[in-house]
Chains A and B, each alone.
Chain A
Amino acid sequence: MPIEFTLSKRQQETRDAVHSLAESVIRPQSLQWDRDHGVPVDFLRRLAMLAASMGSLSTAAEAMTTERKGSDTSSINRNTLIGAEEMAWGDAGLLLCLPGPGLGAPPVRATGTPEQKERFFGIFKDMTEELRWGAYALTEPGAGSDVASIRTSCRKDGTHWVLNGRKCYITNGARASWNVVFATVDPTLGRAGQRAFVVEKGTEGFSVGKIEDKMGLRSSETAELVFEDCRVPAANLLGGEEAYHTKEGFMTAMKTFDNTRPIVAAMAIGIGRAAYEYARDFVKANYVMTRPIPRYAAIAERLARVVRQLDAARMLAWRAAWLADEQQPNAKEASMSKALAGQAAIRACIESIEICGAEGTIAKDHQLLEKWFRDIKVYDIFEGTGQIQRIVISKRLLTNLKSF
């Protein structure tokens, strides 16, 4: 495949389909969902029924859950990116609410045993009766960016493991059928002591703490999870015991990020593009532009800077996804895309509000700039802050740089 930047026919169709859904159905309800502050379950259910009737939800679930074939024609990472940008353009909060294994999928796919994959992914194959979610629980009150220092403990007790600790900021954690939970046998061992468990809803000793009240992405549900002598069957230790004789446990957490960072980048670009397009159309409609007055040139330059930064970030995201599809290492490139996209999209939202002036700060159903401004900030924070991305990148640029 030579150098090429046009979408395949199928990718174009996906993009167009998601775009029209986002434009005509999702956008108009976006502000209401934000105000309701909770997952719009009724809407998701209708969406699931619609999708199931067309067979696409199960296809999507299957694409998420079946093992990737070794074929180099696979383009799943690039396809996902294209869909994610359009969906986030519609409503990023809703995208995070979509049923399915979510962020829990990559670690299960990467390290789960065949039995575990069957058991944990199987429940997503038919969601016409009931919506189901999976989630990923790593962050703790005392361990955010520094994921190696988590304190949630695990100890073996016969046929079970006993977990104690708290996880926070877990997207869909409260409603998930299962959470991939990271815990440690001994905090002094650092990464080598870490284990990943699949903790199912209703497990003894597992409860949901508070639901967070956030700046943005308010339709997405962010929960605190509490583990008090939580007894997890040994069969739910991800990958089985042998997998942890090396540093595999921690590597599982990191592998997740290599795959998901470009997707998060694409989501940020979707929000940034939404804001940019609003500002661009506002400028078209509100400025007298029969000749190149200096004021126009200054506004034009700001718009052009915004759009080119989004372009640049999209290129890095596509590149990271292409590397993943080619089964090449992409940790550095994934971090680059996430770092640049977070920055570019925040810039896009700030500039767009400034260009529209006071109008840009007022919330209306058809004027979502203030919402996008609130939604975007966390994209430079979750899945690794911009600073963490730069640590990941610079460790791969410099020789023998283990830590700062």
Chain B
Amino acid sequence: MISFSPSEDQKLMLDSVAQLAKATLRPRIREFEAARGLPEDVRKAAHEMGLGLVAIPSEVGGAGLGLTTAVILEEEIAWGDPGAAYGFAGPGAFGRAVVELGSKEQATQYLEPFTQPDAFGRFGAVAWGEPKAGTDRGGLCTLAKAAAGGGWVLDGEKAYVINADRADRLVVFAQVDPDAGWSGIGAFVVRRDAPGVEILPRSTTLGLDVASFGGLKLTQVRVGAEARLDGGVSDASAGPQTFNDALVRFFAKEALLVAARAVGLSRAAFEVTREYCDTRVAFGKAIGHFQAVAFTLADRAMDVEASRALVWRAASLWDSGAPAGKALRASASAISHALEAAMRCGDDAVQLHGGAGFMRDYPVEKFMRDAKQLQLCAMTAEQADQLAAAVELDRPLDPGLVLPSAETQNAFV
């Protein structure tokens, strides 16, 4: 039955996260930006609330609350500060990658450092993107070669890696079979302190600078055979599937969380702007009382509501075990709609503030910059559209089209 009511448990968690967003994140948003990271007291508060482990299944040490709960909370956190989710410590995308791509044993093992009592302060990261295409074949340039005596040797350079310099552990994607193009990719868990891993300096970015956007160089990095995540291909009980099936699922869910942050950003930008239009007087009345302004606000309010409902629907389809095609299609709609809506909300927020919107006295210029940055995290709207079309047209999911790639656009993970 169609219902838009969060459960009692979800409401309780939402209340406490909303409190954190309202009392701590929003008032200090400029402080975080200047510091280019979240201070320890804020990270500690998030850690104590268990925000890093919400959607991680309980059998591998997470809270097991599902994706629907996760998107509700992500929206609220992003309402406070769209970048905050990337600045909290925790397994983050790393955790979700080992859950989606690894076996239960691997997930338990690699998540353990994040579920222990001394876990506070640990970051994980995912290294997917690369600085350039560099080849005329499909796939990644970073190579993984079977090492003599077992295990793998990784060589190459990764870019657009969120929290590369903060992470203890990373999931690194590399080409195992160069002749197989996008079907020849493998995923490996790499420790940051492994010999041959060099963390590159972080970049200064347009938005979300609370996160650290960086990269790494891998020179003859050796990992054991057990460090390869095979996407459940070897797990007979999961049914026949390819590594790419799991990879697309991972990216779609990751991008759905980004979409939830986009909803929070849209709502924040909308609310601040609504307030401004209510109080700013021009030509003798509140500017919101002019139709051109009021209709713009109405359109953005529709953007917020529609994005949220699409994100909830996609998350609840994943949680209820709907067929992957259906959940992927719903996710694609949610991702592209929410990302584009966030850009419209950020843009109109600055526009309706007029000159004031350009000043850093108001948060809206930050929302606008963050919106563009969010559009380049995990999956772009264009890639999500290609994903939706692939499902709709019964085409095989071509990772060259639906995944962040050098041929299409790079995106941060």
Contacts and interface: CB of A to CB of B under 8 A. Distances in A.
Interface residues of A, number: 50
B298 interface: yes
Interface string B243-258: 0000000000000000
Contacts of A4: 1-3, 316, 320
A397 B277 CA distance: 10
Interface in A275-332: 280, 283-284, 289, 292, 297, 300-301, 303-305, 307-309, 311-313, 315-316, 318-319, 321-322
Contact of B301 (A1, A8, A78, A393): A393
Interface string A363-404: 000000000000000000000000101110110011111001
A224 interface: no
A7 interface: yes
B40 interface: no
B68 interface: yes
B394 interface: yes
B388 A399 contact: no
Contacts of A321: 2
Given A3-B316, A6-B320, A322 B302 contact: no
B398 A292 contact: yes
Interface stretch (A103-111, A118-126, A167-175, A333-341): A333-341
Nearest to B72: A3
B175 to A, nearest CB: 20
B6 interface: yes
B392 A307 contact: yes
A53 interface: no
B403 to A, nearest CB: 12
Given A5-B317, A78-B2, A336 B301 contact: yes
Given A297-B386, A308-B310, A312-B333, 16 more contacts: A1-B3, A2-B6, A3-B5, A3-B316, A304-B336, A308-B332, A308-B388, A311-B310, A313-B306, A315-B309, A315-B313, A318-B309, A340-B306, A398-B286, A401-B289, A404-B289
Interface of B: 1-7, 10, 68, 274, 277-278, 286, 288-291, 294-295, 297-299, 301-302, 305-307, 309-310, 312-313, 316-317, 320, 322, 330, 332-333, 336-337, 382, 384-386, 388-390, 392-395, 398, 400-401
Q: Which are the 6 A-B pairs with shortest beta-carbon distances?
A: A300-B389, A315-B309, A304-B385, A394-B294, A308-B333, A312-B306
28 contacts: A1-B1, A2-B3, A4-B1, A4-B316, A6-B2, A11-B1, A75-B2, A280-B392, A303-B389, A303-B392, A304-B385, A307-B333, A308-B310, A311-B310, A315-B309, A318-B309, A319-B305, A319-B309, A322-B2, A322-B3, A333-B305, A389-B298, A393-B301, A394-B294, A394-B295, A399-B278, A401-B289, A404-B294
